[in-house]
Structure 1
Amino acid sequence: MSLTFIDLFAGIGMFRIGMEKAGHKCIGWVEWNKPARTSYEAMHDTKGEWTENDIRNVTGTGIPAADVWCAGFPCQDISKNGKQEGLAGEKSGLFREVIRIIRETEEAKKPSRLFFENVENLLSVNKGWDLFRIFDYLDEVGYDPEWKTINSTECGVDQNRTRIFIVGHLRGHNTRRVFS
């Protein structure tokens, strides 16, 4: 089954590469960093796709309907190398913009799945409360979350990096679990 997706916090498009390799189609993307936008446009065929420069300018009425929203939201405030302010930080706190957009989106246009990625320290920052807050936010907007940590070595990459992946299922739709 082929799904449509929007690439939020797109960077240079690593979520997109994975989703397209899985047979899915990107219909839009959001990235504020100019060099990353330039790279994204050079690396991917973005002609005719909806795009926005800043997640804070995206509205629930303006974002196109898609099956999945992918979001590798900023990790700077979550990472062990940062101040570990978590979701209270200016950059990592942009996660809440996704929640705002969902709240603004009419029910029929909401994505059936949300797909998030971040650093493993999301499990520990603020004693784990930020991960709980993410689950709470998802619950408030009608999504049932599941999560799993995956090390890049498990995927054949010669690099030892663990990431947390969170999938939110729109309640009443597509409740099949992704992680087992």
Structure 2
Amino acid sequence: MSAPAPRTFAEFFAGIGLVRLGLERAGWEVRFANDIDAAKHRQYEAHFGADEAFALGDVHQLDAAAIPDVTLATASFPCTDLSLAGGRKGLGGAQSSAFWGFFDVLKRLGGRRPPLVLLENVPGLLNSHGGADFAAVLTALNELGYRVDPVMLDAKWFTPQSRLRLFVIAKAVDDDETLAPELLTPSPLRPASLIDFIQRHPEIIWSCASLADPPTASPQKLADVLEKLADDDSTWWSGERAEYLLNQMSPRHRADADAMIARRRWTYGAVFRRVRRAADGEKRSMAEMRTDGLAGCLRTPKGGSGRQILFKAGYGRYAVRLLTPRECARLMGAGEFTISGSNNDALFGFGDAVCSSVLTWIGENYLNRLASECLSPRQLELFCR
């Protein structure tokens, strides 16, 4: 067989395509995409155009023969069962078990298997079932001939959104720029908890690259990505509804809100509703606000707690509304993304996506170097024999 073209990739669990968006900025070209969600597929096509390379359907049912030769396969497999919302069922849950469908695709590709794989999921994967789920993922990749390198990146380093994610770069190519696990020291990319996992699992075949830390502070604040909506825009909540939210705040958050209202300038906070146990011991919905210039992690709007709320205050006044789809796009590093479908569709799409700016950094600072390795005479001999 011939070697795959450099910087080409297949995007599994593509969603609305923000992995593609980020990697394209780093010089990569998509050759195949797959997702099971028709609404996300429509949003994908609204931005990128209709493409025969997109296979809509269950990853377990994909025809491996229809997947072209590529250098990289990416997989942002479902995180629901790795979180509290999914009951922490782990990789055996109905959604997160989709990883095994992706694994099976790689296995069936045989000699056409991409030399590089990039996985993305929530940090909860690290500790799911006491670390057993993460170890199973990495061991499975080892079984297919990949050495693995896990790192963590936070969207807040690139955009004003707190969104920490776990990435695994798996490589079937030689990488000379690596560190032995025992030499790893805590850093933004590999915090102590991740290094502890690596060092406690010597049975896993690691290939931890020596990487310079990314910038760890976004050049933007929440205020910089907000749409300028008129005071009478229907997006703003009624006075009664806004007051209700204000009264849902704990004394600490209410003090922050009152201080914002009293200022002689506009300031902004990002609010989520949470079910908390109040001082009287009863569980009730509480409004929790962050005022550090960042939005909280965008989520899918499956319930009221998943919808992020903007609190604007100053000059003795305050106003409240949900974040708009365009603001969510900007928080995901995708300000130019074509918004389509209903607001709910858009919020689902962005809440389930990967911050594209993070993918660009990974592409430019890690994957591009590995793609060059794929074209070395030594690697070409492996691919072509």
Report the TM-score, using the length of structure 1 for normalisation: 0.90
Aligned pairs (5 A) from 1:87-126: 87-107=91-111, 109-126=112-129
Deviations 1:67-103 (A, max 9, x none): 1111100001012322101101111011011111111
Percent identity between the two aligned chains: 26
CA contact (8 A) 1:59 1:104 kept: no
- Residue 44 (structure 1) shift: 1.0
- Residue 50 (structure 1) shift: 4.8
User: Which residue, out of 128, 142, 150, partners 2:145?
Assistant: 142
Per the alignment, residue 51 of structure 1 pairs with 55
- Residue 179 (structure 1) shift: 6.0
Rounded to whole Å, the distance in 2 between the matches of 1:75 and 1:166 is 14
Rounded to whole Å, the distance in 2 between the matches of 1:114 and 1:30 is 15
Query: Where does structure 2 lack aligned partners over 5 or more consecutive residues?
Result: 179-208, 212-385
Rounded to whole Å, the distance in 2 between the matches of 1:2 and 1:110 is 14
User: Which residue, out of 76, 88, 92, partners 1:72?
Assistant: 76
Aligned pairs (5 A) from 1:13-32: 13-32=17-36
Deviations 1:10-63 (A, max 9, x none): 000111111101110001100111110000111114535252422111133221
- Would the alpha carbon gap of residues 14 and 179 (structure 1) be closer, same or farther in structure 2, given more than 3 Å must change? farther
- Structure with the higher fraction of residues in helix conformation: 2
CA contact (8 A) 2:60 2:102 kept: no
Query: Where does structure 1 lack aligned partners over 5 or more consecutive residues?
Result: none
Rounded to whole Å, the distance in 1 between the matches of 2:66 and 2:31 is 13
Pairwise CA RMSD of aligned residues? 1.8
Task: Say which SS state the counterpart of residue 148 (structure 1) adopts.
Answer: strand
Larger of the two Rg values belongs to structure: 2
Rounded to whole Å, the distance in 1 between the matches of 2:51 and 2:160 is 33
Rounded to whole Å, the distance in 1 between the matches of 2:12 and 2:125 is 19
- Would the alpha carbon gap of residues 9 and 117 (structure 1) be closer, same or farther in structure 2, given more than 3 Å must change? same
CA contact (8 A) 2:38 2:56 kept: no
- Would the alpha carbon gap of residues 46 and 151 (structure 1) be closer, same or farther in structure 2, given more than 3 Å must change? same
Rounded to whole Å, the distance in 2 between the matches of 1:140 and 1:110 is 13
- Tell whether 2:130 aligns with 1:127: yes
CA contact (8 A) 2:10 2:70 kept: yes
Task: Say which SS state the counterpart of residue 85 (structure 2) adopts.
Answer: coil
Report the TM-score, using the length of structure 2 for normalisation: 0.44
> How many aligned residue pairs are there?
176
- Residue 153 (structure 1) shift: 1.3
